[in-house]
């Protein structure tokens, strides 16, 4: 039976510039069918939560530009469940907005906060960990904040890491340290030590608990959203949020609260997870042909190996002699880049932004 006090918040506001040219300001990656399954990343995330949460308890927070895309891809969601940000201010203001709004409706709410662009392959294990975290929040008197940590399979430098120690709370480990995207040598030491997990960016807590954490560690943000009590779920909400976001600083929930709080715990998890932050991450989890290529489109490849090629299905693409490349075409942009140089994609996007004669549709 679905719990009336369990809420899910899907964060769907990022642009995902590392996945350019598919991820663009007018249609970021979460609104794309990245893996060719017939469902977008956002739809997969929503479907995942619909299995365990009441439909009316699933909220999506996104930029106001994407309201129509949300309605198109999740047609049964109501306007009051779509939280529209006027500008991006990172995850702390976004989570504060949702926490204060949801707790206004239900002070007993326990929130699961998750990005919209992650892939989770063993969903039954994911939902088990989510329910485990919800139960811990509901039964433990301490104001605990929980994150899901993934058993690392390699010394990946693109993920954040959580170091943990034993905890007296059943099924939870105490977070000792957070480390954001370490260099390769340090990541290898983390793996060897055996007491580090990848930080999934998926959180569980009581709405009232995270509000108290805001009051302690980010009091200026707490003060801003505390004033919105009368505006939430009313015609005044949009005006209030527009003004509120002009006052919020750009800061992540990790840096603003979790790295400072003494009540952060982690649930060890192994549900085959990827944040799909880069072309390499899509390549890693995708099915490959006999030449280790990931091909999505009407593509004929000769003497080509270790590539990811994603092109429109209505265009024949013939490729010869490539090894370890990204080839991606979407709308009016074609990207050809070595896989081991994909960290430069953000540089490419910034260069395009800085060209005064640029057609902004490229972004």
pLDDT for 122: 87
Between the two ends of the chain, the Cα-to-Cα distance in Å is: 44
- Which is nearest to 96 in space by CA: 275, 259, 250, 262? 250
pLDDT for 359: 62
| Cα–Cα distance, 158 to 327 (Å, whole number) | 21
- Residue 341 token pair: 């140089």
What is the C-alpha R_g of the chain? 21
CA 57 → CA 31, 130, 200, distances in Å?
A: 21, 15, 22
pLDDT for 121: 85
pLDDT for 358: 60
Domain boundaries, the chain: 6-274, 279-362
| Cα–Cα distance, 24 to 31 (Å, whole number) | 10
Query: What residues does 175 pair with on adjacent strands?
Result: 164
Report whether 33 contacts 135 (CB < 8 A). Answer: no
CATH classification code of 6-274: 3.90.550.10
What pTM was computed for the model? 0.93
CA 66 → CA 21, 24, 83, distances in Å?
A: 18, 12, 11
| Cα–Cα distance, 272 to 317 (Å, whole number) | 32
Mean per-residue pLDDT of the chain: 93
Using one digit for the tens of pLDDT, what is the confidence trace for 264-276? 999 999 888 888 8
Q: How confident is the model at residue 178 (pLDDT cuts 50, 70, 90)?
A: very high
Task: Please check the confidence at residue 94 and state whether its pLDDT lies above 90.
Answer: yes
Q: What is the mean pLDDT of residues 9-17?
A: 91
Report whether 313 contacts 298 (CB < 8 A). Answer: yes
Using one digit for the tens of pLDDT, what is the confidence trace for 286-319? 899 999 999 999 999 999 999 999 999 999 999 9
Report whether 14 contacts 118 (CB < 8 A). Answer: no
- Residue 30 token pair: 């979460």
Q: What is the mean pLDDT of residues 160-179?
A: 93
| Cα–Cα distance, 48 to 248 (Å, whole number) | 31
- Residue 205 token pair: 């807590």
Task: Return the percent helix, strand and coil in the chain, to nearest 5.
Answer: 35, 25, 35
Residue the block writes with tokens 């896989």:
339
């Amino acid at each position: 039976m679905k719990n009336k006090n369990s809420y899910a918040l899907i964060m769907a506001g990022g642009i995902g510039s590392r996945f350019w040219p598919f991820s663009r300001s007018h249609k970021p990656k979460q609104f794309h069918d990245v893996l060719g399954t017939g469902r977008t990343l956002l739809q997969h995330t929503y479907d995942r939560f619909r299995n365990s949460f009441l439909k009316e308890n699933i909220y999506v927070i996104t930029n106001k530009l994407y309201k129509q895309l949300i309605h198109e891809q999740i047609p049964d969601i109501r306007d009051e469940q779509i939280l529209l940000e006027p500008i991006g201010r990172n995850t702390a203001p976004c989570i504060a907005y949702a926490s204060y709004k949801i707790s206004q409706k239900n002070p007993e709410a326990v929130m699961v906060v998750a990005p919209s662009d992650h892939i989770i392959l063993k969903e039954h294990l994911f939902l088990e960990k989510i329910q485990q975290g919800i139960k811990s929040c509901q039964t433990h008197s301490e104001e605990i904040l929980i994150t899901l940590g993934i058993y690392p399979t390699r010394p990946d430098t693109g993920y954040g890491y959580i170091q943990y120690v034993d905890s007296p709370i059943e099924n939870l480990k105490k977070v000792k340290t957070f480390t954001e995207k370490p260099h390769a040598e340090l990541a290898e030491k983390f793996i060897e030590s055996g007491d580090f997990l990848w930080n999934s960016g998926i959180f569980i807590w009581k709405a009232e608990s995270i509000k108290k954490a805001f009051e302690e560690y980010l009091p200026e943000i707490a003060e801003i959203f505390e004033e919105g009590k009368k505006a939430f779920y009313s015609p005044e909400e949009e005006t209030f949020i527009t003004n509120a976001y002009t006052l919020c600083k750009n800061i992540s929930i990790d840096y603003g609260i979790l790295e400072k709080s003494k009540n952060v715990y982690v649930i060890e998890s192994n549900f085959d997870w990827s944040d799909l932050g880069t072309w390499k991450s899509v390549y890693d989890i995708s099915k490959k042909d006999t030449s280790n290529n990931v091909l999505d489109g009407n593509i004929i490849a000769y003497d080509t190996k270790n590539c990811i090629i994603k092109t429109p299905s209505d265009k024949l693409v013939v490729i010869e002699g490539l090894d370890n490349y990204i080839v991606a075409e979407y709308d009016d942009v074609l990207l050809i880049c070595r896989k081991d140089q994909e960290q430069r994609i953000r540089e490419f996007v910034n260069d395009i932004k800085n060209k005064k004669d640029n057609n902004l549709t490229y972004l």
